[in-house]
Amino acid sequence: MAPTTPTVVVPIDLKKKPNEQKLTLHNRWHPEIPPVAEVKVGELFRVEMVDFTGGAIKDNDSAIDVKTSDLSTVHYLSGPIKVVDEQGIPAKPGDLLAVEICNLGPLPGDEWGYTATFDRENGGGFLTDHFPCATKAIWYFEGIYAYSPHIPGVRFPGLTHPGIIGTAPSMELLKIWNERESELEETGLQSLKLCEIQEGTPEWKKIAMEAARTIPGRENGGNCDIKNLSRGSKIYLPVFVDGANLSTGDMHFSQGDGEVTFCGAIEMSGFLDLKCKIIRGGMKEYLTPMGPTPLHVNPIFEIGPVEPRFSEWLVFEGISVDESGRQHYLDATVAYKRAVLNAIDYLSKFGYSKEQVYLLLSCCPCEGRISGIVDSPNAVATLAVPTAIFDQDIRPKTSKVPVGPRLVRKPDVLKCSYEGNLPTTENPGARI
Amino acid sequence: MAPTTPTVVVPIDLKKKPNEQKLTLHNRWHPEIPPVAEVKVGELFRVEMVDFTGGAIKDNDSAIDVKTSDLSTVHYLSGPIKVVDEQGIPAKPGDLLAVEICNLGPLPGDEWGYTATFDRENGGGFLTDHFPCATKAIWYFEGIYAYSPHIPGVRFPGLTHPGIIGTAPSMELLKIWNERESELEETGLQSLKLCEIQEGTPEWKKIAMEAARTIPGRENGGNCDIKNLSRGSKIYLPVFVDGANLSTGDMHFSQGDGEVTFCGAIEMSGFLDLKCKIIRGGMKEYLTPMGPTPLHVNPIFEIGPVEPRFSEWLVFEGISVDESGRQHYLDATVAYKRAVLNAIDYLSKFGYSKEQVYLLLSCCPCEGRISGIVDSPNAVATLAVPTAIFDQDIRPKTSKVPVGPRLVRKPDVLKCSYEGNLPTTENPGARI
Amino acid sequence: MAPTTPTVVVPIDLKKKPNEQKLTLHNRWHPEIPPVAEVKVGELFRVEMVDFTGGAIKDNDSAIDVKTSDLSTVHYLSGPIKVVDEQGIPAKPGDLLAVEICNLGPLPGDEWGYTATFDRENGGGFLTDHFPCATKAIWYFEGIYAYSPHIPGVRFPGLTHPGIIGTAPSMELLKIWNERESELEETGLQSLKLCEIQEGTPEWKKIAMEAARTIPGRENGGNCDIKNLSRGSKIYLPVFVDGANLSTGDMHFSQGDGEVTFCGAIEMSGFLDLKCKIIRGGMKEYLTPMGPTPLHVNPIFEIGPVEPRFSEWLVFEGISVDESGRQHYLDATVAYKRAVLNAIDYLSKFGYSKEQVYLLLSCCPCEGRISGIVDSPNAVATLAVPTAIFDQDIRPKTSKVPVGPRLVRKPDVLKCSYEGNLPTTENPGARI
Amino acid sequence: MAPTTPTVVVPIDLKKKPNEQKLTLHNRWHPEIPPVAEVKVGELFRVEMVDFTGGAIKDNDSAIDVKTSDLSTVHYLSGPIKVVDEQGIPAKPGDLLAVEICNLGPLPGDEWGYTATFDRENGGGFLTDHFPCATKAIWYFEGIYAYSPHIPGVRFPGLTHPGIIGTAPSMELLKIWNERESELEETGLQSLKLCEIQEGTPEWKKIAMEAARTIPGRENGGNCDIKNLSRGSKIYLPVFVDGANLSTGDMHFSQGDGEVTFCGAIEMSGFLDLKCKIIRGGMKEYLTPMGPTPLHVNPIFEIGPVEPRFSEWLVFEGISVDESGRQHYLDATVAYKRAVLNAIDYLSKFGYSKEQVYLLLSCCPCEGRISGIVDSPNAVATLAVPTAIFDQDIRPKTSKVPVGPRLVRKPDVLKCSYEGNLPTTENPGARI
């Protein structure tokens, strides 16, 4: 074995279910979840992972599995991994853990993924008011490229990344999370409901009762869904417990900024080749608390050098006025929603259903920007779509597009089966 | 004269005040503001413009002019310009006006600009709670580069663009704006207060009473402050009145995404070389109303090919938890605020005051992204700063930074005069 | 005037001939050509220049001016400029002169250029055996873009640069040049013939007798025709005489690697905004003689950050076997010739004459690479052409191109007048 | 298995020698070498390969294996692979075979490579007059990055590619090659010497007697060593025999333009994931013979979208004057040699031996350009080195570098054993 062949510290057997894996997976954040592996700084190690649902979503043409998926058990994470220095001394609270993503990709033999929208009753998404039904698109990979039988005419290189990477919180930080999120009515069950993890021991029961869900990104990193955490990037994570206890999961072959459909990247199983460094005392040195305690910090990171290169972009703009015409004061979320809706409407003029475009914008390498955040009362957000991912020219043209009803690309490529309500020609998404 | 020497259709005399210019400037949106020039499609024409304050902010070391600036008269716009086709037929409501920015830059002899923060009482900015005082930094240009005596150690190429470019609204659209913005208490006087424009005639009085302010971006484009509208980009603007009546102003040598300090780009006078195309019926063909009327649309655009190239970025993350530790539900504005605050705190460890970094992030080519917008309850926003703009390595390092008080870069380069309260060593901004 | 408005140290009056300009131009390299201006390090200064022929080539549809142009008088250079440090002490032999190109462009009112092929009897070009006649294409500029009525269907952003920038040689270096070039029979008159410069004084006569031609790049920089010496780039030139005596000329709006037609970039008049730094003793510190004397050195440079961005390239390959099928041993020149010929043949399948493509490849932003130089007996060179400069898809396709004779784009756009021999349909170049 | 899991059509067992592999490898070009596998257009398939020497060079600190390597048996190629269309009809002479490189990389468990210089008696290299001895540097891979214990202080992402990819020649083309190369005295034994391939049958003996060596790139592609044939690129190869008979080998983790040391990329074993398309009649449609027969063509290709991104480059220039001061007429090979020598001398000022830099420039992602090829008598070539691959700032600086003898980085990292002659401090290469 070459000195740089990564050691697999968390292996995954694709033929087994999440709770049958050799090393226990976990699906909540808690300081007392015991490490399943230990790595030294400088060591190249591989972490394998199941997709965020642990195999619940299948490679087929029905979205029934998305509609009925049990979101109380996600995300399945690999880890925690204890990190020690050359002398075997663990990372300590107050240190900064520098994690370099040397490589990553799908698990061999499992080169496919899916993008979906949850049903409004089961999590919904950014535009759930417009797209309330569960839909699903399957993506196949050809090396660096992904294509979908459900969204024909597009193909793009992946900017692959883990949706979730983070360190374990301390009890104090965990308490801050639980309190701050419990005070927010709007979040509903989703972010609060605790659930049992794999083991039925009293220790795990206690953990299950106290642990935080994995849905949001937080001070420890977590589900930040930053699409640029790809090959060659370096993440500086705060350390809250001895050993740092690094966990990761929710691999994405590709994602658009915002991951708008929520189940929204190209979700897949995969592997990460990582290398860690400990910056002793780095939290104090480099991070500044942004709240009442020294724990209110955020990770920082450096972007890697091999992101896909696009030169032409078509950009959609949104302002903080909602679809009813109502004004919102400098609200970037509303502005971004409108930018995405504008893009969906525009691109659906090129032979796609709106469901197809919604799924596409959630997973293709599009960039979401906060362009203006001070020009009262309108925030301006933009969504930039690389034109090269399409097999047709999608730019506005002076010469009229051919008269007649637009050709909707369909059955031959849209192999979805629709149980119950058949889609109309205008609406051929993989809908339940 | 070569066939492609641009015709100057709106000239500016830098020695004259805004209201003394040969062609009347305007500072509000209204369908009845008469065009000052006419251009044909395909024609290359030049529009010159004053800076957004019309020369009120001076090249010196005091921010007193920022503190006392009269924001009721801004932004000074050049235009409107009537656009006609080869046969002389004007653009019509429902058309799309494609405007290509062929070139742009500062006005010769006026190669400087400023970035400032308004006093909290006079407009404030994105982080006005943290930075309530007026400050100012002067920037000088060396061709493609800008540097500031007030923020030493940084130099960057400009991604120059007009902060404002837009078509005239129809009366119907204007009415929509005025109603929708008047219903919003939070906006305060700023976006609603009407003011007299240059002329005292009854016609102008009527216009002044009805017209909309130029602060926000809206359906017509306007003050969208999109930093990528630079050389070679193409903007597709909806046409609401005969002739389109294109206006532009608020030139920025460079701006960071969000333009966080509000007076926040490198503000300057300048020129635009433009070329127009009319896409007949293009509004219906390419734009989709996003609201109760067919007028609720937004421009789209293509990015130009000569943006400055950076390969290394340090990225700061923010989540939708505010500085008091309070949770906000999927609020991208809060998340971006925290990302910017994180960046300010981090960069201030490298010898800068926080005021200097705040000004810098408002105008340097940093990118603000909506990274995650669905992971309830936290939106995740990121701010990416190109490391090459600094003359020192700003990345986190394992080896400790030299012990002792950090050296604040100062008097020799910080030539600001502080009237009244002298800044401390930690706080050497150009503050009033 | 803003502190960063560049001082014009060499002005050009476009209405005057080269020898009528206020400051004497020169067209040979010699240590005793007296400086026409002096600049301080750190100062931003502007140098204006005529096109390399001093206006001999006109904006029209005939190549007669190219055919009959007097190449004994070119290139017209602006300078020399003496460079001194802050204390007024001139750059000294052995120093390194760092020249930053802060900005550049065409002279206002003169926004056009030309690409041409010389007649075989008058200089020829890289492919003169294939293209023996004088041809010419005119290019007009629209800000960052150039387009040509003679080569329709292409438009590209310029990577503008001075073809010539260099310091004055010492007498010793000049002697080395004259000797080494006189020994080479193949070069013919072209590189050796001396000519009188502007003035008829005895001093100038002596200079004219001894001076070196400006055709080749040499140890002092000179006519290196490196297309990446554009905005923001920094050139480190060796200093051979007191004051460095910097000269520049031969502005190119755009050039392809190799400048294959010889009169081959988009040639134009223009301006350069420069800033100098002196690195004392830098020749010894940073350059290593590559020959018998310490003078056998070459400049180095850094590339600027605003080069046009292209993401898709079609690449043509050539090996060191010539058109007769003869083998040449690891000869990169032959390999590049074949790569260029391959590109010409390929692109001429898309409606262009070979003359048009030859002209195009000489001036568009194509990249010429030495890919393999060791795989005996074949050198491999490649020519990469950005596909986005065409208004059609030029990539090979499975589906056949429409049957029938290919449409040659012509008279309506090809407004050349052919004096004498009319071109055939296949051959619509601007030929004499 | 997912539908896009590539089928391994040529497997390699790393524990076996080249001639023990399951499928016969080959090391010469000949139309009658029988295909070892067949693939359909559109199918994703994997080709594995040994390194070009078939494992003769070892991961250790001695260059004795390089010095004594048997170059008569290289390169070991995987294939030929027969390509058929959906109906099973093979590619035919005159077709164009479009090969997309969907993915590639080192073989798992074998993540290392080497760069070496051959002894002058055994092949030498581009600069063999300056570097006559065998040297070797080992590189280890960390995902996308490579680093070497023999060249400390550099680390770079790989632009991985196959050095050799090509179709089988027809007998007619093979005859052209053998004749044209035999006429060239200079090539020496190297390119002409035939050798026996694996099998001892009469059929193989005949093939061995007639076949062409794999050293040079030729009309069929072959050893073109084009470093940009990486992930996502598409190669259009002419078809000369039924089935196309595609072969590939000589994988490079990374290579500099020119591959100057000859054994010069980071050589490794590896895999390629490929997908083919047949363009029927494409040779006539898209390629133009550049010689006496219709067979004198060259492949064309498109570059992929994920090349490593660098923003800062230091560029070295060379002119066609050799180290003795002698003039060569527009000779790009001489110019490039001088550019490389300039770079070696410059970079050796930063703590490296010249041997180390020579090895580095042969394998790091540096770009070799033909900048000027017409400015008689000097060709100008440039070599651009990305500054980000170094852990120190390698740009020229005004402030003097620390006085005293430069620190040579050595023994602790340079773990080479020197058998016989020990290197001096100035010369710590892995030399025999």
| A428: in domain | no
Q: What is the pLDDT of residues C234-272, one digit of tens each?
A: 999 999 999 999 999 999 999 999 999 999 999 999 999
Q: Are D189 and D124 in contact (CB under 8 A)?
A: no
| C308: in domain | no
Report the distance separating Cα B344 and Cα B95, nearest Å.
44
Q: Provide the shortest C-alpha distance from residue A305 to chain B (in Å).
A: 7
| B42: in domain | yes
For strands B270-279 and B96-105, give the pairing: antiparallel
DSSP codes of every residue in C40-89: ETT-EEEEEE--TTSS-S-SSS--HHHHT--TTSPPPEEEEEEEE-TTSP
Report the distance separating Cα A128 and Cα A133, nearest Å.
8
Give the nearest partner residue to B371 out of A257, A281, A317, using CB atoms: A257
Does residue C229 share a domain with residue C162?
yes
Q: Which helix H or strand E contains A283, and what residues bound it?
A: helix A282-286
Does residue A200 share a domain with residue A61?
yes
For strands A112-117 and A96-105, give the pairing: unpaired
CB atoms within 10 A of CB B105: 22
Look at residue A314 and give its three-state secondary structure: strand
Checking if the pLDDT of B198 tops 90, the result is no
Q: Which helix H or strand E contains B205, and what residues bound it?
A: helix B202-210
What's the gap between Cα A272 and its chain centre? 15
D175 band by pLDDT with thresholds 50, 70 and 90: very high
C-chain residue closest to D350, CA distance: C286
Does residue C382 share a domain with residue C274?
no
Does residue B317 share a domain with residue B220?
no
Q: Which residue pairs from B410-414 have beta carbons closer than 8 angstroms and sit at least 24 positions apart in sequence?
A: B413/B149, B413/B150, B413/B152, B414/B149, B414/B150, B414/B152
Does residue A292 share a domain with residue A155?
yes
Report the distance separating Cα B211 and Cα B197, nearest Å.
10
Q: Which two tokens stand for residue B422?
A: 């002298």
| B253: in domain | yes
pLDDT, mean of residues B318-337: 94
Query: From the CA atom positions of chain D, what is the Rg in Å?
Result: 22
User: At CB < 8 Å, which residues of chain B contact D?
Assistant: 309-312, 388
Checking if the pLDDT of D110 tops 70, the result is yes
Domain boundary (A302, A321, A338) is at: A302
Which pLDDT value is given to residue D192? 37
Report the distance separating Cα D341 and Cα B96, nearest Å.
57
Report the distance separating Cα A239 and Cα A256, nearest Å.
29
Report the distance separating Cα B130 and Cα B128, nearest Å.
5
For the purposes of burial, counting CB atoms within 10 Å of the CB of C41, is it exposed (0-12), middle (13-18) or buried (19 or more)?
A: middle
Output the average pLDDT for chain D: 88
D366 band by pLDDT with thresholds 50, 70 and 90: very high
Q: Do C102 and B142 touch (CB under 8 A)?
A: yes
Q: What is the pLDDT of residues D125-144, one digit of tens each?
A: 999 999 999 999 999 999 99
Q: Which two tokens stand for residue B94?
A: 């429902």
CB atoms within 10 A of CB B209: 11
Q: Which helix H or strand E contains A181, and what residues bound it?
A: helix A171-182
Which pLDDT value is given to residue B424? 37
Q: Which two tokens stand for residue A384?
A: 């930039």
Low-confidence stretches of chain A (pLDDT < 50) are 186-196, 401-432
CATH code where residue B343 lies: 3.10.28
Report the distance separating Cα C90 and Cα C244, nearest Å.
8
Q: Provide the shortest C-alpha distance from residue B309 to chain D (in Å).
A: 6
Give the nearest partner residue to D232 out of A103, A144, A275, using CB atoms: A144
Q: Are D379 and D372 in contact (CB under 8 A)?
A: yes
Which pLDDT value is given to residue D421? 37
Output the average pLDDT for chain C: 88
Residues of chain C with pLDDT > 90, as a percent, come to: 78
Which pLDDT value is given to residue C194? 43
Which pLDDT value is given to residue B26? 93
D121 band by pLDDT with thresholds 50, 70 and 90: confident
D122 band by pLDDT with thresholds 50, 70 and 90: confident
Report the distance separating Cα B84 and Cα B245, nearest Å.
10
Report the distance separating Cα B147 and Cα B155, nearest Å.
5
> What's the pTM?
0.93
For strands D37-40 and D77-84, give the pairing: parallel
Does residue C233 share a domain with residue C364?
no
Give the nearest partner residue to B109 out of C5, C44, C231, using CB atoms: C5
Residues of chain B with pLDDT > 70, as a percent, come to: 88
Report the distance separating Cα D133 and Cα D355, nearest Å.
10
Report the distance separating Cα B21 and Cα C189, nearest Å.
59
Q: Name the residue range of residue D65's domain.
A: 7-302
Strand partners, B321: B327
Domain boundary (B302, B323, B342) is at: B302
Which pLDDT value is given to residue B205? 83
Does residue C321 share a domain with residue C291?
no
Q: What is the pLDDT of residues B130-170, one digit of tens each?
A: 999 999 999 999 999 999 999 999 999 999 999 999 999 99
Lowest mean pLDDT, pick from A166-180, C96-110, D281-295 = D281-295
Look up residue B91 and give its amino acid: A
Output the average pLDDT for chain A: 88
Report the distance separating Cα D338 and Cα B263, nearest Å.
52
Q: Are A35 and A79 in contact (CB under 8 A)?
A: yes
Domain boundary (A367, A389, A411) is at: A389
Does residue A223 share a domain with residue A81?
yes
| C401: in domain | no
Checking if the pLDDT of C10 tops 90, the result is yes
What's the gap between Cα D152 and its chain centre? 23
Look at residue A342 and give its three-state secondary structure: helix
Q: Give contacts of A310 with chain C, Cβ < 8 Å.
A: 311
Does residue B245 share a domain with residue B180?
yes
For strands D300-302 and D367-372, give the pairing: unpaired
Indicate left, alpha or beta for C260 from its phi (over 0: left) and psi (-120 to 50: alpha). Answer: alpha
| A274: in domain | yes
Does residue B103 share a domain with residue B184?
yes
For the purposes of burial, counting CB atoms within 10 Å of the CB of D285, is it exposed (0-12), middle (13-18) or buried (19 or more)?
A: middle
Report the distance separating Cα B350 and Cα A285, nearest Å.
11
| A417: in domain | no
CATH code where residue D196 lies: 2.60.120.580
Say which DSSP state A393 is in.
-
Query: From the CA atom positions of chain A, what is the Rg in Å?
Result: 22
Residues, chain B, total?
432
More confident residue, A227 or B70: A227
Does residue A157 share a domain with residue A32?
yes
Q: Give contacts of A2 with chain D, Cβ < 8 Å.
A: 59, 109-112, 140-141
Q: Which helix H or strand E contains B357, and what residues bound it?
A: helix B354-363
Q: Do C59 and B1 touch (CB under 8 A)?
A: no
Q: Provide the shortest C-alpha distance from residue B98 to chain D (in Å).
A: 29
Give Cβ neighbours of residue C381 (< 8 Å, ≥ 6 apart): C317, C318, C332, C335, C336, C338, C339, C368, C369, C370, C371, D332, D370
Q: Do A312 and C310 touch (CB under 8 A)?
A: no
Checking if the pLDDT of B423 tops 80, the result is no
Checking if the pLDDT of C349 tops 70, the result is yes
State how many domains chain C has: 2
Q: Are A266 and A140 in contact (CB under 8 A)?
A: no
Give Cβ neighbours of residue B147 (< 8 Å, ≥ 6 apart): B139, B140, B154, B155
Give the nearest partner residue to A110 out of D2, D275, D310, using CB atoms: D2
Does residue B321 share a domain with residue B285?
no
C-chain residue closest to B149, CA distance: C3
Look at residue D177 and give its three-state secondary structure: helix
Residue in A343, A394, A361, A357 with CA at minimum distance from that of residue A150: A357
Residue A377: cis peptide before it, omega within 30 degrees of 0:
yes
Checking if the pLDDT of B392 tops 80, the result is yes
Q: Among B311, B390, B391, B399, pick the best mutation site for testing chain D contact (most D Cβ within 10 A).
A: B311
| D18: in domain | yes
B121 band by pLDDT with thresholds 50, 70 and 90: confident
Checking if the pLDDT of B413 tops 80, the result is no
Give Cβ neighbours of residue D209 (< 8 Å, ≥ 6 apart): D194
Residue C30: cis peptide before it, omega within 30 degrees of 0:
no
Residue C75: cis peptide before it, omega within 30 degrees of 0:
yes
Which pLDDT value is given to residue A200? 67
Q: Do D102 and A3 touch (CB under 8 A)?
A: no
Q: Provide the shortest C-alpha distance from residue B78 to chain C (in Å).
A: 20
D-chain residue closest to B308, CA distance: D311
